[in-house]
Amino acid sequence: MSDVILTIDQGTTSSRTLIVSPAGEILFSAQEEFPQLYPNDGWVEHDPEAIWMTVKTTLMACHDWCVQEGYRPVAIGITNQRETTLVWDRATGDCLYNAIVWQDRRTAAVCRDLAKQMPVATLQAKTGLLHDPYFSATKMSWILDHVEGARDRAEKSELCFGTVDSFLIWRLTGGPGKSAVHATDATNASRTNLYNIRDNRWDEELLDLFNVPASGLPDVHDCVSDFGMCSVFPDSPFGDIPICGVAGDQQAAAIGQLCFTPGDIKSTYGTGCFVILNTGEDCLTSSNKLLSTIAYRINGTTAYALEGSIFIAGAGVQWLRDEMKLIDHAAQTQAICEGLDSNHGVYLVPAFTGLGAPYWEPDVRGGLFGLTRDTGRDHVVRATVESVVYQTHDLFDAMAKDGAHPKSLRVDGGMVANDWMVGHLADVLDLPVERPEILETTAMGAAYLAMIGAGLVDDLDGLTALWTRERLFEPNMDAKTRKSLLDGWADCVRRLLA
Ligand SMILES: Nc1ncnc2c1ncn2[C@@H]1O[C@H](COP(=O)(O)OP(=O)(O)O)[C@@H](O)[C@H]1O
Ligand SMILES: O=P(O)(O)OC[C@H](O)CO
């Protein structure tokens, strides 16, 4: 019976579980979407039971496939949408409120107040992050303040708080008669605004500032570690299975893209877009509103990264399909973009949940610019796809001002199926862009961590043979056209922020 890894990818719009062989092949996968909840203007929530049931169902499907096909799952890896926050009852495991999602802006005013109490430079020095509702701390505090009795119960240590990884670890390890584990990994902790990424600990001053009691927080482990035994498979021939690799999804994608050397950079185009540049053991502080974050921590050694976070990438394509009804399928966008000889001066700035890096304007709303009498559907579709490219350029511009000049970029995520988008990205960044054979880099990153944990691979160096390039996109745009497109974009952003 061959050994395999089960890897859970709990994303913003769906949960997936994959079965990965030690040679890095995906043998089987199961995926389930779940509803997005928008209970108020700027609020985004998920039902915790929908997160749990989609994870459990896809995990069971993979477990049953292993039984049927004669494979033995020896380890579990977990990767997850980051920052999304849950609070649950330590005795029952029931959540007190829906998960507040990373895109949620309800705590924007709280963040503005907190910025008066702690200068952003102090916060940045400790956490690498900024005062913005994107991060977990104000979401945790909001739940404690708005669910009746929650704060009192938290003070009595009756509640657990955490990001999605810790919620899943709790539920997966707490099977019948088992004692649930409350743990997270360093990458997820580094997205909370409560974790000191230089000292590697929950920070007392930050816990006071954000008013979050330490007793409810998970233990923080290395990305390869003992996160407990998954005990939810009744009568499984395999018994309990160790969870031994965990990372937030963007860090996992960087691992899946094998960005292990300082200067390696990847960009993932899923719901949002997240650029991660490995900076090695140097925890650089951006002077241009990029984030510093933990890329991974293995054997007690921390690798850091600079990150640019864009909130709307593939979500813009979903908006074209679901709200504007301009397309039936995301895949149509490629032919539509290819069918136009230029953007005809039409730009979309998709600030649907405010603007992330490098602007950090939680309250700004989106805008469509440059419309004329003959602007049609195709121009709006192309402007939406182009907006993702120009936002990526803004991040690269900020990185260049911080002294980082990458030589090439590795891309992944659902949106890079669009060849035109990736070609335009290479043109606008004026950089070679590499697309890998396996686009499930996020799930693969967690699988690789679990492989190391299970002893199937010694260390990160043992993974190098597992990445292959599917296509290289070379830049092919003259400087004048590039400048004119970027000037047009910058003008629209300026008008929106004015
Ligand atoms: N061919 C395509 N062209 C443009 N966008 C696409 C294409 N295929 C998928 N997408 C977009 O990619 C996103 C899904 O990517 P995925 O990596 O699965 O996201 P997530 O993990 O955030 O749920 C969707 O928002 C979808 O609109
Ligand atoms: O679910 P994704 O792939 O859009 O990723 C969400 C990010 O982790 C948010 O920081």
Which of the four pLDDT bands, split at 50, 70 and 90, describes residue 1? Answer: confident
Alpha-carbon distance of 242 to 251, in angstroms, equals 21
- Tell me, in angstroms, the distance from the centre of ligand 2 to residue 483's CA: 30
> In the structure encoding, which two tokens stand for residue 16, read together?
């997936």
* Residue 209 confidence (pLDDT) above 80: yes
The helix/strand/coil state of 354 is: strand
Centre a 10 Å sphere on the Cβ of residue 27 and count the other Cβ atoms it contains: 16
Q: What is the 3-state secondary structure (H, E, C) of 383-446?
A: HHHHHHHHHHHHHHHHHHHCCCCCCCEEEECHHHHCHHHHHHHHHHHCCCEEEECCCCHHHHHH
Position 189 scores a pLDDT of: 98
Alpha-carbon distance of 136 to 85, in angstroms, equals 6
Place of tokens 């709006």: 380
Whole-angstrom Cα Rg for the chain? 22
Average pLDDT, the chain: 95
Among 59, 168, 184, 77, which Cα is nearest to 447's?
Answer: 77
Question: For the residues 440-459, what does the mean pLDDT come to?
Answer: 94
For ligand 2, whether the C-beta of 82 sits within 6 Å is yes
Q: Are 309 and 357 in contact (CB under 8 A)?
A: yes
Starting at the edge strand found earlier in the chain, the sheet holding 159-163 runs: 45-46, 99-100, 85-89, 159-163
Q: Average the pLDDT over each of 182-191, 239-248, 279-288, 317-326 and give the range with the smallest value.
A: 279-288
Residue pLDDT, tens place only, 132-143: 999 999 999 999
Alpha-carbon distance of 100 to 139, in angstroms, equals 6
Ligand found nearest the CA of 273: 2
Provide the ipTM.
0.97
Q: Which CATH superfamily is domain 258-436+468-498 in?
A: ATPase, nucleotide binding domain (3.30.420.40)
Position 153 scores a pLDDT of: 95
- Tell me, in angstroms, the distance from the centre of ligand 2 to residue 217's CA: 21
Which of the four pLDDT bands, split at 50, 70 and 90, describes residue 483? Answer: very high
> In the structure encoding, which two tokens stand for residue 294, read together?
């933990």
- Tell me, in angstroms, the distance from the centre of ligand 1 to residue 386's CA: 15
Which of the four pLDDT bands, split at 50, 70 and 90, describes residue 464? Answer: confident
Position 125 scores a pLDDT of: 95
The residue nearest atom 10 of ligand 1, judged by CA position, is 415
- Tell me, in angstroms, the distance from the centre of ligand 1 to residue 313's CA: 8
Which of the four pLDDT bands, split at 50, 70 and 90, describes residue 466? Answer: confident
* Residue 178 confidence (pLDDT) above 90: no
Angular region, 289: left φ>0, alpha ψ -120 to 50, beta rest: left
For ligand 2, whether the C-beta of 382 sits within 6 Å is no
Could you check whether 2-249 and 258-436+468-498 share the same CATH topology? yes
Alpha-carbon distance of 234 to 277, in angstroms, equals 42
Give φ, ψ of 477 to 5 degrees: -135, 140
Question: For the residues 234-245, what does the mean pLDDT come to?
Answer: 90
For ligand 2, whether the C-beta of 12 sits within 6 Å is yes
- Tell me, in angstroms, the distance from the centre of ligand 1 to residue 422's CA: 13
Q: Are 83 and 102 in contact (CB under 8 A)?
A: yes
Position 363 scores a pLDDT of: 87
Residue pLDDT, tens place only, 107-125: 999 999 999 999 999 999 9
Position 106 scores a pLDDT of: 96
Taking the CA of residue 321 as reference, the ligand 1 atom at the shortest distance is 27
Residue pLDDT, tens place only, 43-84: 999 999 999 999 999 999 999 999 999 999 999 999 999 999
* Residue 188 confidence (pLDDT) above 90: yes
Burial profile 132-167: b = 16 or more Cβ within 10 angstroms, e = fewer: bbbbbbbbbbbbbeebeebbebbeeeebbbbbbbbb
Position 14 scores a pLDDT of: 94
Which of the four pLDDT bands, split at 50, 70 and 90, describes residue 391? Answer: very high
**Ligand 1 — pocket residues by CB below 6 A?**
11-14, 270-271, 314-315, 317-318, 330-331, 333-334, 413-415, 417-418
The residue nearest atom 6 of ligand 2, judged by CA position, is 81
Alpha-carbon distance of 138 to 161, in angstroms, equals 12
Residue pLDDT, tens place only, 11-36: 999 999 999 999 999 999 999 999 99
Question: For the residues 298-315, what does the mean pLDDT come to?
Answer: 94
CA 377-380-383 angle, 5° bins: 150
- Tell me, in angstroms, the distance from the centre of ligand 1 to residue 440's CA: 12
Position 444 scores a pLDDT of: 96
Would the pTM count as exceeding 0.80?
yes
Which residues are 75's β-sheet partners?
A: 5
* Residue 257 confidence (pLDDT) above 80: yes
Residues 135/138/142/143 CA torsion (nearest 10 deg): 50
Pocket test for ligand 1, best of 271, 323, 326, 382 (most atoms within 8 A of CB): 271
The helix/strand/coil state of 300 is: coil
CATH of domain 2-249: 3.30.420.40
For ligand 2, whether the C-beta of 250 sits within 6 Å is yes
Where are the chain's structural domains? 2-249, 258-436+468-498
- Tell me, in angstroms, the distance from the centre of ligand 1 to residue 417's CA: 8
Position 216 scores a pLDDT of: 95
Position 459 scores a pLDDT of: 87
CA 286-290-291 angle, 5° bins: 90
